[in-house]
Each structure stands twice: as C-alpha cells, then as structure tokens.
Structure 1
Amino acid sequence: MRHNAARRAALLDATLTILAREGTRGLSYRTLDAEARLPTGTASNYFRNRAELLRQAAEHVHFRLQPDADWLESTLQRPPGKELLTELLQNLVQRVLQDRTAYLSLLELRLEATRRPELQDTLRHTLNHHFYLNRNFGPTHGLPLTHPEFTLIYLTISGLLIEELTLPGLLEETTPDELMQRLVEIFTPSGPWRP
C-alpha cells in the first residue's frame, strides 16, 4: 500500500501533540485519527502497531526540533567565536521552548521507554546519532569545545529545558539567553579565540 508522506507527517505531529498533552495513556488509533482530523482507520494503515507508532514518533520529534536550514547556513558564514557559539546555543533553547509540544513528547517517550525495551533501543540509537552529530559540530565549525565540555553543556541545557517546560518561571532571576552566555564563558578557553 502506498502512503502519503504529508498524511504520515500529520499523523506523527498529532502523535506528538497527544503525547505532550495526555501522555501515552491518551494515545490510540482513534484519538490519533481525530487529532489529525483524518478519517477513522487512517492511522492503522500507516502504523502496524503501537510499538511502530512510538518508534516513528521518536524519530520524528528530532525532525521537528531541527534548526532552520537557511538560518543555520547564514549564521555559520560568520567567523567562529564565543558570539557565534552563544547564538547557536540560544537558538537551540529558543527552538525547543517555542515547540514545547515536541520536547514534552520526547520526555514522555523517554518515560515510556523505561517500560518498553524496543522503544529504549530506538531512542538510544536516535539520540546517540544526534548527540554524535552535535558533539562534532563545534570542532567541525572551528568552535573549540572538547567532548567533555560539550557533554556538560548538553546536560546543563537538558536540565534547563526540563525546568522551563515543566515549571515555567521557576528560574525567574535569569533568562535562558543569559544562561547560554554564561555557559559559553565557563566552557570556552579564556584568552584569544583560536579556531
């Protein structure tokens, strides 16, 4: 059976919405069809079972959180430096906070993965792939972050996002942009910038 790519994307976006709003307990083919505003029975034609639906949702969430390709290409034309690294990190945090649904659904998928080994394997593979790409992004573009420094930044940003998305306003003494500036100051070498 041939599948419509736009319809599959709509179903996956609807899956993320349901996961963020209701958790996995609210996800069924019927609720998925209704959320995507598609005829009853559509989702079952695209996903043979719940495990397959969750697997594809785990992959799709990273597509949703990608930076705008034109913005990234334009931004990377600038010379490497602390300002560039700060802007890249600020954009990352802003993207996630603007697409709250995507990141909350990822958190829900992570919780569900503690009960489903096959989903844990999918998430581990997908996150390892993106972690590897992101870890090597800095050195590839002349940003002097060692792998341990990148890991610390990754873990710090992950914690920030959980706080901002689950308890907004908790960190009201500072802004995410200010925190990204401070992270760059802490984790990049002092003295002249050497790409």
Structure 2
Amino acid sequence: MKTIATFSQKGGSGKSTLAVHLGVAAEEDSTSVIIFDRDDAQASSSRWAGSRSAESPVVLQTPPSQLQAALKAGSTKGFGLAIIDGPPHSSPDSAAIARVADLILIPVRPTAFDLAAVGNAVKIVTAAGRAPLFVLSACPPRVPEVADARQALADFGEVAPVEIGERIAFSRAIATGQSVTEFDSRSKAAAEIRALWQWIKEKTR
C-alpha cells in the first residue's frame, strides 16, 4: 500500500479538497483508497464523508498514536492507497506524518501569504527525509501570479505540471458529498483532478 499525505502549514490551501478528490479519482481508476483525517480542528474530510452516499473512499479520523497501526491494518485489508489529510498548522504529529508518507503533496494558492508559509512546511518535510511535491491550487485564469508562484516554488522542490483552477465546481461538489469527477464528470475541474492523479500515480511507482 502506498501512502500519500496532503500537507500544509496554512489553512485554506485546499489540502482537504485535494485529499478527497484524489481519493475518488484513484477509486475511479480501480485503486481502493482509505483516507485518514488528521485535521482535528476542521475534520473536513470526515464531514465530507458523512454527507456522502457512496461508501468509498473510506474516511477515518485517526489519533496520532494510532496512525502507524491504522496504516498497517489498511494494508492488511487490501487497500492500495492511503491518503493522510494532515493538520493545517504545525502540530506534534506533523513530522510523524511526513515520515510515514511515500509522497507529500503541499497545495499552495498563488498568493503572497501562501508562498510565505511554504518554508515551514518544507522544513518539516525535509527533516523527515522526504522531498515535497507542490500542487498549485485555486489558480485564477490567465494571471501572471500563477507562473510567478510556480517559479518561486521550484526553488524548494518539484511542482506538479497540473494546476488546479479556482472553480465553483469544487465547492458545489463538496457540498453534496461528491468529487468534481462525480458532480460534473466532463468539467474542466474533473479533467484537472484526473490529470493530477495520473501524474501522482506515476510518482508512486
């Protein structure tokens, strides 16, 4: 079982949105997924799962002390992918999450505040011996800030070639307990998520 963590040191970056959407995209691509919600303050992934009619992906709130055992149990049960929706700010288990993840995705909005917060996340990730992978999220169309953010992030690590646009489809899908690939499978938002998942899948091989 491969393990991916969505990681951020700033709230509102799109961390939980990324976690649940990648979970559904992986399920649609014949990978069984379990999501561990470690965002105790917001529990966004858990609330999304609670409003969802579909039974997959499985979403569990897991205390830090039980995460290692939960990952082992998930692997034993035959899940192909674990996604850890990490805490939005520095917490005692941030480093532990970084150590158990095969890939660490850091969503970043193309804003000055988001870019300023990247350094703290990178320190935690690199201290755990991992390399961060950045995903530009909530990108407005046709603005220079997106390219500027991509260039700035490249100094810290690899940036996903797929950018996630600032689209109302995401909030509408989340509100109905769905992902954009379910809510509007032909939308640009759905295409972006599928493309991002394919890129991530290659990274886990």
- Give the structure with higher Rg (CA): 1
More helix, by proportion: 1
Same fold (TM over 0.5): no
- State TM-score, norm by structure 2: 0.26
- State TM-score, norm by structure 1: 0.26
